[in-house]
Amino acid sequence: MPGDGSLEQLKREGRIVVVGASLAGLRAAETLREKGFAGSLTMIGDEPCEPYDRPPLSKQVLLGRASADRTALPRLRSVDATWRLGSPATGLDMAARRVRLADGDEVPYDRLLIATGVRARRWPNEAEAELDGVFSLRTRDDSAALARRLDAGPKRVLVIGGGFTGSEIASACRERDLPVTVTERGAAPLVGALGGVVGAVAAEMQREHGVDLRTGVMVTALEGDASGRVRAAQLSDGTSVEADVVVVSLGALRNTEWLAGSGLGAGPRGIACDAGCRAFDIRGIVTDDVYAAGDVARCPHPLFGYQFLSLEHWGNAVSQARIAAHNMLSESTDRLPHMEVPSFWSSQFGVNIKSVGIPSMGTEILIAQGSLTDHRFLGVYGYQGRVIGAVAFDHGRWLPFYQELIESTAPFPPTFATVDRRPEGQRPLDADFPDPSVPTHGPTVTLSGYSPADRRMTFTPAH
């Protein structure tokens, strides 16, 4: 709809459909209303409940300090929407501008926002995945079920995968004094997202808190007893671990299968879109009426060489949803790029971990403040002579300063002096990220260039 008054008509009486009723979908809907959209708004969600917040599910809820069914997101304004909850979208007809639902209904749209997010990667062996006591953690039902089982006092919890979610689960278990084993195929926990130097600190934290941490190993099989309850896991080093609760924490898969055959540029790495959140079709041509936001979107980022980034971050979902909503109602010259610097947090083993920028793009790290041995430090990541990311362990208040360095492409190693720089922070170290050809669990940023061939990529499970 070019500048012929049709935009005003869209705002007045258009139909906007949002597929995905979680954080990104809700914040987009609120922004659409805030920007004066008065037409019909339909929210489509696969889960039967209203939008809820996920970060508490691996923290407060597992600690028994909050209930999984009580993490609904606060409403910042009325969205006056028609909610189609519990009926997942199953198809998209771009030519007819319709979304198909599992119950057979078709919902027509003038503008479509796709915010279908990701889901937990399941244990690849179907029979083993079905064993009683095998969990994953993504939804509120997952969290409620796992919390119930932890309440019952299992003999040992096995967490498969030492990414952020897996580490938070292990932390909650130790805080509840439950024996826990973590297996990680990389050299250390968090290694995919933060590299080996910081991963070594994460490993130390786990062991100091009594986690039986096994690195460089994979779980090759889960064993059940006669009544179908999980009882043990076989590891690739020939050992086994007896556990009556197993949490599969092997990262996430993007929910794009429902778009197969639609002609949209969607695949295992997400939905390719431009910096303004407009989705590409498989020919690499940008669409005018289909937008994407949140974990499922993959956008070129001006600060990072216009590489296409997929970010599984709470803050990214919020800011990208707002940009997408704004752009859906704007003339082309009024559109805004999604330029927010990536940032995320995690708390585990009593330490607050926060990050800005893209640590996993870094090749070097400099401990600019504090000390690795104290588990309180600020690490700056460098890439080709510039500051590209930073991570803080209980040093979060300094991050806005480092964010400015990233935004201004400041030189690396940084030239400023700090009051608390230790001898180990005098020179950069190799950040020690795993060889990209060896997948590790739980990196929260995917970097890649866009190619229409991506949609033919297939994921090969690690196990």
Partner 1 sequence: MVRIAVDLNRCQGYAQCAFLAPEIFAMHGDEALLYDPEADDAPREKLDRAAAACPVQAILVDAVEPGGLEPGAADAPAEGVSRAR
| 3 state SS of 193 | helix
Q: Is 78 in the site for partner 1 (CB under 8 A)?
A: yes
Q: Is 53 in the site for partner 1 (CB under 8 A)?
A: yes
How many chain residues are in contact with partner 1, going by CB under 8 A?
43
CA distance 241 to 262: 45
Q: Is 224 in the site for partner 1 (CB under 8 A)?
A: no
Q: Is 397 in the site for partner 1 (CB under 8 A)?
A: yes
Q: Does residue 24 contact residue 114 with C-beta atoms inside 8 Å?
A: no
CB of 156 to partner 1, least distance (A): 24
CB of 363 to partner 1, least distance (A): 25
Q: Is 47 in the site for partner 1 (CB under 8 A)?
A: no
CB of 32 to partner 1, least distance (A): 13
Q: Taken in order 447, 453, 455, 457, is the CA torsion positive or negative?
A: negative
Interactions with partner 1, residue window 309-338 (CB under 8 A): 314-315, 318
Q: Does residue 241 contact residue 248 with C-beta atoms inside 8 Å?
A: no
CB of 412 to partner 1, least distance (A): 23
Of 268, 238, 233, 232, the closest CA to residue 253 belongs to 268
Laid out side by side, the sheet with 219-224 consists of: 219-224, 230-235, 240-242
Q: Is 70 in the site for partner 1 (CB under 8 A)?
A: yes
Q: Is 456 in the site for partner 1 (CB under 8 A)?
A: no
Q: Is 344 in the site for partner 1 (CB under 8 A)?
A: yes
Q: Is 76 in the site for partner 1 (CB under 8 A)?
A: yes
- Which H helix or E strand runs over 168? helix 164-175
Residues 1, 11, 83, 421: which binds partner 1 (CB under 8 A)? 83
Q: Does residue 150 contact residue 137 with C-beta atoms inside 8 Å?
A: no
In terms of CB distance, is 315 or 413 closer to partner 1?
A: 315
CA distance 96 to 202: 51
Residues 14, 20, 56, 370: which binds partner 1 (CB under 8 A)? 56
CB of 393 to partner 1, least distance (A): 9
Instruction: Find all residues with CB under 8 Å of 129, minimum gap 6, and list them.
Output: 122, 123, 248
CA distance 146 to 152: 10
CB of 225 to partner 1, least distance (A): 36
CA distance 311 to 432: 21
Residues 82, 239, 373, 409: which binds partner 1 (CB under 8 A)? 82
Q: Is 55 in the site for partner 1 (CB under 8 A)?
A: yes
In terms of CB distance, is 84 or 231 closer to partner 1?
A: 84
Q: Taken in order 259, 45, 161, 348, is the CA torsion positive or negative?
A: positive
Q: Is 36 in the site for partner 1 (CB under 8 A)?
A: no
- Which H helix or E strand runs over 255? none
Contacting positions for partner 1 (CB under 8 A): 49-50, 53, 55-56, 59-60, 63, 65-67, 70-87, 314-315, 318, 343-345, 347, 350-352, 354, 394, 396-397
